[in-house]
Amino acid sequence: MLTAFAIFADGLVYAAYLFIVAIGLTLIFGVMKILNVTHGSFYAFGAYGAATAVGIYANAGWPAALGFLFMLAFGMAIGLVMGVILERGLLRLVYGRDEVIVVLVTYATFLILEDVIVLIWGAQSYAAYQPMVAAGNIEIGDLILSNYDLVLVALAAGLAALAYWALKYTRYGRLLTTVIFDRETAAAFGINVTVVYTATFILGAMLGALGGAVMAPKISVTLGIGVEVIVLAFAVVAIGGMGSIEGALVGALIVGICRAAAVHLVPQIELFVIYGVMALVLVVRPYGLFVRARPRKI
Amino acid sequence: MSARTRILPALVALAAVAAVLPAGAQQPATVKLGIVSFLTGPAASPFGIPGRNGAEIVIEALNAGKAPPPFDKVGFGGSKVEAKYVDEAGSAANVVTEFRNLVQRDQVDAVVGYVSSGSCLAVTPVAEELKALTVFYDCGTPRIFEEKPRRYVFRVSPHATMDNVAAARYVLAKKKNITSYSGINQNYAWGQDSWRDFEGAMKVLAPKATADKVLFPKLFAGEYGAEISTLLTSKSQILHTSFYDGDLESFIFQEQARGLDKRMTIIMTTGETAIWRLKDKMPDGTIIGARGANGPLARDTEINRWFQKIYTDRYNTPPTYPAYQMAQSLLGLKLAYEKAAAAGGKPNADAVAAAFTGLEFTGPAGHVKMALGEGHQGITETAYGTYKFNKQTKMPEIVDIVRFPAECVNPPPGIDADKWIAGGMKGAKC
């Protein structure tokens, strides 16, 4: 019983982490059809920004309760700036080019930004554990859970609900859905696709940075953290269906629960299980679980 | 007599004097070294940069002739050392390409470097093929010299078997009645070999104790929630880990938030690299290793005090074990070079290799004996201790230090490390 509960709790926490890092990636792909490798850089910059913010906040001696929000705001502000610079300064120049070229551009940007991190923050690692320590823990039977992890789960659930509401019930959400469905038709109906692209990319960048910012207190913020994340985020998005937010949520839950079960029951297959699940899903549904029906163009 | 006509005979006389002087009185040639270490990527901060810094500070001191005896001769045998620093980051193929560039394009006299065991395994056959003198400073795999004898490849730092055998001996010396132990190690050669040696040593030294949770998360996974839950449900008294860099620090942050270190004592074979950064975030009571008697586990000797001072003065932080390993490697190479140079002229790779084989010397981390791998692999004493954060000085301390002689925790010459452990560690002189 304890093991079953532990698998459920660990699965939820891991799924929350995966969903937060994958939602921005799938949003950008859904709207812009760009497989954005730079998403790993948004995550890394968000984490470094959050670590910097925690340092500033701790030194200033401000009330601990607001530290978490300051950290998130700082991280997302970095995502905002990066999103504007990259979309306006680079990506708009390659719109309409072959998808492979756009992927290569984002990959090259990712590599350049790894070196930019060294230039800004140096090669040393940073710690931002204060918010996680301040959150404390809760004991359930033999298991001790971190309250910070529970905050992560709540944040992921909130993000999922917000995304659902925004897409279904707001004007921008409906415009976005139209562009996701068919860009040319949306443009023909007078939607300013360029503005939608810019706004979406900036939002995706901020979400990527948010992922890094919320994870910063749990990890050592060090060079290369974006590499691991981008691989995991791609796996989740591939399972759920490229461009589908509900797919990212379900994909994250499947991967999270399967991985937690593997660690508890058969730790030898932990490394394999994420990609095993992805392969299994893609065999049955080659475009992922929640891929949209595509209009046939004549 | 014009100025020009006065200078001309003087120049002729000077040239004549230079021609009759012995070769040794001429300006010595520079010794070129390639220094390879992680300058970017996750392993840069804990290993690569301290290693690089160790090289920089030691080479500077050697070139100024300011190292203590017997290392006080300027540079290498009077020749200034010129270092080229190369990043180890990238694939094994990239590492080999950079190695070839150093040897063939830059014509370095020796390469000193490599943190990753994968890099060392990839470079070894190429070094032998190119007959390039190579000294590995940090990588731990025992396979380098166990697979076949090497001629041009050396490693002053002991291999990883020592770390894990000593870890088992320390745990059993300090904690009686251990019935169960667990392990969390990275899922690649370093982590798997470390666990294999630790578990093997525990089976020999405490046959009634059993391994409970054996976890191998992905390298650089970053998220260990499920692993920590699994360990919280275990009844093990100790947890072995060879985690390093960001993985080690992430694991410490996450386990502390959930109180794992209150349930079991954690033994970290590379923990020393993190103590100066983590300070009060490193749990008190953690058993700390430094891959040898390095850092705070090093003996208080003149050469150790010298190294600690020059490093701390320059970088405002005490040297950690990768810096020690780099210093030991460079000092060993210097002695071998000077021994070979004593025959006259600039020694070639064969002469330095012959002088290096079986060399013995004492550096900041203690006495090195190139005893294994037919004289190419060093052994040293090692030590483990228990972590304590001093709240008065606000500085880390290692207390309860136990030292293990080199012959107690290293296999004897001629036998593979895993076979030695499986055979009951026969011949260990403790």
* pLDDT for B188: 84
Report the C-alpha gap between A211 and B251 in whole angstroms.
19
Residues of B with Cβ-Cβ distance to A123 under 8 angstroms? 39-40, 44-45, 48-49
* pLDDT for A58: 80
CA angle at B424 for the pair B423 and B427, rounded to the nearest 5°: 95
* A271 interfacial to chain B (CB closer than 8 Å): yes
Report the C-alpha gap between A55 and A60 in whole angstroms.
9
A38 contacts A275 by C-beta, under 8 angstroms: no
* pLDDT for B28: 61
User: Could you tell me how far CA B275 lies from the centroid of its own chain?
Assistant: 17
Report the C-alpha gap between B58 and B66 in whole angstroms.
9
User: CA nearest B213 in A: which residue?
Assistant: A267
* pLDDT for B20: 43
CA dist B261 → A26, B52, B298 (Å)? 38, 33, 26
Which residue type sits at B280? D
DSSP at A244: -
CB contact under 8 A, B226 and A143: no
The whole-chain average pLDDT of chain B stands at 91
H/E stretch holding A230? helix A225-240
* pLDDT for B400: 96
Q: Which residues pair with B385 in a beta bridge?
A: B288
> Is the pLDDT confidence value at B9 over 70?
no
Strands B287-289 and B265-268: parallel
Q: What are B54-108's pLDDT values in tens digits?
A: 999 999 999 999 999 999 999 999 999 999 999 998 889 999 999 999 999 999 9
* A98 interfacial to chain B (CB closer than 8 Å): no
pLDDT band at B124; cut points 50, 70, 90:
very high
Report the C-alpha gap between B41 and A280 in whole angstroms.
32
Q: How many CB atoms lie within 10 A of CB A233?
A: 29
Strands B134-136 and B153-155: parallel
Note the maximum CA span of chain A.
64
Residue % of chain A over a pLDDT of 70: 97
Q: Which CATH class for the B161-290+382-422 domain?
A: alpha beta
Angle, in degrees to the nearest 10, between helices A225-240 and A245-265 = 110
Strands B134-136 and B366-372: unpaired
Domains B27-158+299-379 and B161-290+382-422 share a fold: yes
Instruction: Classify residue B78 as left (phi > 0), alpha (psi -120 to 50) or beta.
Output: left
Domain boundaries, chain B: 27-158+299-379, 161-290+382-422
Residue window 13-52, chain A: list those with CB within 8 Å of chain B. Answer: 13-14, 17
* pLDDT for B58: 98
A239 contacts A255 by C-beta, under 8 angstroms: yes
> Taking the model in full, what pTM does it have?
0.86
CB contact under 8 A, A218 and B44: no
Report the C-alpha gap between B92 and B90 in whole angstroms.
7
Instruction: Classify residue B61 as left (phi > 0), alpha (psi -120 to 50) or beta.
Output: alpha
Query: What tokens were used for B62?
Result: 């050697």
The minimal CB distance from A148 to the residues B39, B257, B277 is found for B257
* A123 interfacial to chain B (CB closer than 8 Å): yes
Q: What is the DSSP track for B212-264?
A: EEEE-PPTT----HHHHHHHHT---SEEEE---HHHHHHHHHHHHHTTHHHHS
Q: Which residues of chain A have pLDDT under 70?
A: 64-65, 292-298
The minimal CB distance from A263 to the residues B41, B226, B246 is found for B226
CB contact under 8 A, A146 and B254: yes
The minimal CB distance from B226 to the residues A14, A114, A220 is found for A14
Is the domain defined by B27-158+299-379 classed in CATH 3.40.50.2300?
A: yes
Q: What is the DSSP track for B281-314?
A: GSPTT-EEE-SSS-GGGS---HHHHHHHHHHHHH
The minimal CB distance from B232 to the residues A133, A143, A268 is found for A143
Interface predicted TM-score (ipTM) of this complex, two decimals? 0.88
Q: What are B14-51's pLDDT values in tens digits?
A: 444 444 444 444 446 899 999 999 998 888 888 999 99
Q: What are A92-146's pLDDT values in tens digits?
A: 999 888 989 999 999 999 999 999 998 999 888 888 888 898 899 999 888 999 9
Q: Best interface-test mutation with B: which of A119, A263, A268, A272 has the largest number of B CBs within 10 A?
A: A263
Per-residue buried b or exposed e for B396-405, using 16+ beta carbons within 10 Å of the residue's own CB: bebeeeeebe
B350-357 mean pLDDT: 97
CB contact under 8 A, B248 and A220: yes
Residue B357 main-chain phi, psi, to 5 deg: -60, 125
